[in-house]
Structure 1
Amino acid sequence: MKVWTVTVNDILKRDIFKHAKLIAGENGKHREIKWTHILEMDEFDEFINGGELILTTGSNIAFDSPAGIPKIKRLIEKNVAGICIELGTHVKEINPEIIQTADQHHFPIITFPHIVKFVDITQDLHTIIINQHHQMLKQLHHLSNQFNELSLEPNGVLKIIKKLHEHFHTTVLLITDDKKTYYSPLQNNERLETIRSFMNKSMNIEAYKDFLLDNEYYTAFPIKGLGHSWGNLCLQEKSENLDEFSFSVLDRASLAIAQILLRNRTIEERKQNQEEEIVQKLLHGEEYESSIAHKILPAPAKNLYYRLILVENHTHEEYFNKDDWEEIKLQQSIIIRSLFKKYGFFPAMSVTKNKIAVIASFYKNSNAQKDTDRFILVSKEINHIYEKNIFHGNECNIGISSFQKDYANVASCYKEANNVLFIQKKQILKALFYEEIGVYRLLSKLSQEELESYAAEYLGPLLEYDEKMNGNLLLTLSVFLETMGSKKETADRLFIVRQTLYHRLDKIKELLGEDFMEPMKRQAIEMATCAYALLNNNSNFSEFTKQ
């Protein structure tokens, strides 16, 4: 692997430096020189970016005295590459304490025994730096073209991995989000399972990340596209040993690999037309061809279950024309399908403009919580996806049905997931799963008329009072029931004094009866408050009290 940086060691070999002497910082000869800078002023901090080789006659720094040490340290802190000092005019010799300080920080100090033209040094070094940069860009362009050409060939991913191995002369491997692995050289596969296991736990890498396995350092680079991580490219090398050119090469290779993976997913996704039709029929309980369904859904097995996930977005249909929507739909399918596969699910999907339905089949774990956690992780990742004009996960609501075995129950699962979405949008509960909505599972099966009748029967007088007096007895009652009748906790949660609470509770007893906290009546009232919450924003108080 060619090094494209210019170092202190490189410039010491130039003719213009043949009379120069390195008097300090021998261990810093590897420092990269990005530019040269003539420095003759006292206050120089804002004129230095780091990486410069400083040229000076010493008019601004007392190099012949310990008094110059603070300024030397400032140059070191600014990450200057080194300093060249012309002896004679302002400085006769370099103070030993300054040399000692430079040695401690591996900071090169170069002296010229006679007057030199700084303009000649600047021109010579800048020519090298610019030529090196030009050659680097030329080589980078050449490698990019090679990556692009390989991406169009059969088995392009593996060929790109091999090309990276040839360039870096170290082990290179790729682990995709669907657990496929590519590596080069082929014989270096002893640690493959260990690396794969580690990367599966750390798939979402934002930039690059170092990790240590079996005393070997690796650097992982994410393969990203459409707001999703498609895998990680790993190089057996510490990131601190990689220069700017190496990062650029890996960036170009990652882009070419991402294009291959996305192209393959796009081809697969275009074959899913039958899947859309079958899933829609399952959602609405319509008849379908079982032979086609068997190609789309996993075959029933003893330990195979599924949940239905609904992802509801709030994008208005008029924002899309037909051609745009077909492409957006395809990309949404790729993103969501890949995400479910990443967590070990077998997804069958239907994507419409406002709702994505996923029948997520999975083999049930002996620890049920692990399966639940997987769905939670998928939901969180969906909410964090942001791909402009394609998918805004932070604007989505997600509802998940109960788990089932028989695909004949998909239609009922569809209703369950919709009920969860309804509860979320009404801001009644922050529920994700159908089993979390509790009594609302029963109430959601009742008609609006039945809910109104039930709420009015148990809460009618209280609702009528709140409406006439602009009161908040219903809120007080709800909190009092939630706190299991704790007056202190109720007052604290309502931010009122105890006396105010006692007055409200007396009024509630007057309206609902002294026995409103008796077990059976209390259960009925609690259910009535839930029924009212379902109806809220759809009906006003008078509609309840007319029952």
Structure 2
Amino acid sequence: MSENRQPGPSGRAPTVADVLALPVVAGGDPRVVAGEEHVDRPVRWVHVTELTDPASFLKGGELVLTTGMPLPDDPAGVRRYIDELAGVGAAALVIELVRRYHRPPDALVQACRARGLPLVTLASDVNFLEVTQVVHTLILGHQAEAMRRTQRVHEAFTALTLRGAGPEEVLRAAAEMSARTVVLENLVHRALVCEPSGSVERAALTDWERRSRTTPATDRAGVSGPEGWLAAPVEYQGERWGRVVMLPAAHPGRAFGPEDVTVLERTAMALTIARLTHPTPWERTAHRNALRELVEQRHRSPADARARLTALGVPADDTLFVAVLADLPSAEDAAAAEVRLCEESAPQGPRVLAGLLSPTRLGVLLALRPTRPWREAVQRVSRTALDAAPGATVSAGAPAGDLADVARSFREAARVAEAADPGLPLPSGRSFHERSDIGLRRLLFALRDDTRLQDFAERQLGPLLDHDARHGTDLVTTLRGYLDAAGNKTVAARSSGLSRETVYQRLRTIERLLGRDLESGEQRTELHVALHAVDALRALPPAGRRPGRDR
């Protein structure tokens, strides 16, 4: 009987079409003469009958086999016979054209077509007992395999729960098990987590809120809405937090089955436990993940990024984007600033996306109307961060007119943060740093860890610094005053409180130690840059913060 093993794809019950492909049935030359569009119906059992009222013995899903002997002679009786089979949900009717009929009666064909019941004729004898044995073996094998798969689903979700998995990991597992796209949304129809399977985020999330609102909520896992979503509520003791949705397969003909329902129910349960055990709200985690994807450009395409952001409720069209980074003294300060910023931005609607990018770095994406002054919005963010932690350093990138340029704006904000020398004051009325603040001193401060800058400063000023260290002199200060005076020795002497002769003597000593000509404008410039480099190398950011190191 090995040639009659499972004919269809593993993982699903055999269908009418699968049964007809079995050698034990194919030998009878089966022909589908009505209801061809429904041969994908699953076969739950096989029932051999010669009764005039077989429907009373059926429960639905049976493949009914008959020689045709009990069929009524009159068309009305035939219609009643088929109506009863269709009413109880029989999978198909198979009639053998050997004993009573050599072609199917027209009334039988018409009745089956009217009720959408597949009618299959067999041109030669088929051993009905053997068909029953083979198909039942397949069905029982499928049921056993389905039980094993269900057990694996339960074990997988139990392991996720015990491991303390968050919503992203839970949905990723659900998408892998079901080979379908799975989405978690909150009560206001914001798509917080999307795990696509076989499709891109753009296809799954485009126009999400409208599509979601046309899909009615259900009290338990079930299919609803115009697109046929399989959805289940995520709730605990009557308090509902959102729902998890499994989208239909991209290709038609693959309906949701019991295993999909099991996966979704276990997903909802795991999400409930994750919500109870994880203190961070889903929305905040979703914002963090969305920001990191934008900063690191982990989207497959700009269209995917746009769909992801829009599904979170952040406008992506006709919008000016500004990237802001707040570096905080400690992880506790960063977490407090994140909470405070999220609370204060809530009344403005979904035009602020905020989240931790690292333990001490808070990222903020402002989605502003093009006519709105962006510096005022950044200033408000900066004041909020400074109120939460006075030691914060806030930096902004240049505005981006398109979502594709947001990563560039964040990179620029990071460069500004690296150049934010704490020793230099900000312009009056502004509490954040921006690109225009980066002059020579800030640029050198940003490059302070570069060994090439360190080597340059040492080659230019090393002998002079060594001399001051050995002899307790302060020739570096004299050199600084001279260079700040643009090479004017009289101004340098006056500003230092020294006589001109003393300054002249010290400058000659400096020239000798460095082997430089202080009358050369180019060499004075090199020495002046080296002095600023030494200042940058000696400067340290505030305790606990190293701009750019936590990214």
Which bracket does the TM-score occupy, shorter chain normalised?
0.3 to 0.5
Question: Which structure is larger by alpha-carbon Rg, 1 or 2?
Answer: 2
TM-score relative to the length of structure 1:
0.43
